[in-house]
Structure 1
C-alpha cells in the first residue's frame, strides 16, 4: 500500500500555521488533511476553504463536535456540521463529552448522546456530512467521553442512517479492548466506519495524558494489525495520523510531517 491514503491531522503539527501546513503537505505529496475548528476559525473559515482548494488538498475530517453535556451543544454542533460542509469535509468527528459537573449519572449521559445524535443526524444529512462518533479510552470517561468502546459507539449510531452517522476507529483509544477486532468487523458489516486514525500508546504515560500519544512505532499498539482489520471490512478511505505530543509539537512542521510519513510507511502500511 502506498502513502496515498495518508492524511495529516492538523493537531499532530499543532503549531504549524495553516498556510505553511498546506504548502508543506503539498511539497511532501500529502493530499489529505484533517482540520480542527479552532485554528480554522482563527484563520477564517472561507479563507481556509479557499486555501485547501488552491493547494489541492482534501479535508478528510473536521475535529470536532460533540461534548453533549454542554447546554449549547445542539446549536454548536449544527454550526460545526455547516463548517465541515463549507470546508468540503465529508466527516465531522464527535467526542461525546463526559458527565455534567457534579453528576454521577453515567446512564443519563449516554442517553443524552443518543438523543443528540438523533437530533443532529438529519441536519448532517442535509449538508452531506457524516457524523463520526469516536470512542475514547475509559480513562477519559468522566470528563471527556462517556463512550468507551467501539461496540458502544455502534449501538448509539445503530438507529440512524449509516450515511449520516458512523464511528471512528482510533488505535490509541481502542488497542486495549479485547473486543476491538470483532467490533471493527461489526462496524464494517454495518457500513459504519467513517474514519480511521492512528497513534501509538507509550508506557509509562507522560505527565498530562492528553499530550501523551506516541509516535507510530514507539509504543505497544499493533498498528498494522489494526490497519489490516479495517481494510478487511472494505474501508478504503483515509488514514489520519493524529498524535498529541509535546515533543512532536516542538519540532518544525515539515520535520514532524517527514517523521510521520516515515513511521507510517514502516508501521502502518
Structure 2
C-alpha cells in the first residue's frame, strides 16, 4: 500500500487553517488549488508512480466529484473547506479539528479496499408493466435503443385512461391524435411483444436477471378474430360499457373502442 495525502489551501482554507503545518504533520503535498489541472496532474503523477490510496483534504465530497475521480485507486475526501474553514474561526481548536479530520480520512483510506469486479451476464429484455401512454412510450423508446421489450397491460386494450378522454389539455384535441402514431410505431417494431388482458403473477431473481411469470386471462375470442363485427349482431346479451364508465351498454362480446389495440373483440 502506498498512501498519498494532498492538502488544498484555496477557497479560504489557508486563511483559517495553517496548511503548511498540516502538510508537514502528515507528510502531505500542499497545493493552492487541487481542483485545477495542475493539482489533478500532481495527484495523477503520484498515482502513476505507485500511490494507490489518495486522501484529498480540500472541499466537500459533494462537489468536484468528477474532478477527483481516479480509476483504480481508493480516493478519500476530507472536508476542510465547508466543514472547518468556512464554519469556524482561526484558532488552535480549529487547527486541531482540521488535523482530526485528516487523521480520520487517512484511517478510512488505509482500511478501504477497492471492490473486486464481477462480470455477470444480464438480460437485455425489458418488462414494461402498464400499457397507458407512459408505458407505450417507454416500450417504444427502449425498443428503438435495441432492447427486446415485453409490454403487459391488464385491460384488453392499450392506451390507459387517456384513450377514454374526449379531449385533453392544452391543445384540446382528442387522444387519438398522438395515440394513432404511437400504436403504429408499436405495431411496426418487431422488438416489442404486447400482452393485453395480462397480469404479472410473480417476480424473482436479481437486478439484471429477473424471472417474471405473466398470467394471460382469456379473451373468450379466438386469435382468428378480424374485428368484422358479425359476432355482435348474433349476440343477444348486453353488459355495462366499462370503457364509457358504465354510462351505456355494449353486447357481451364487444370491441373496447374504435382504435383498440389489438383490434380484436373481447
TM-score, normalised to structure 1's length?
0.24
**Larger CA Rg, structure 1 vs 2:** 2
Compare the two structures and name the one with the higher helix fraction.
1
- TM-score norm. by structure 2 comes to 0.24
Larger fraction in strand: 2
Q: Higher RCO, 1 or 2 (CA under 8 Å, sep at least 6)? A: 1
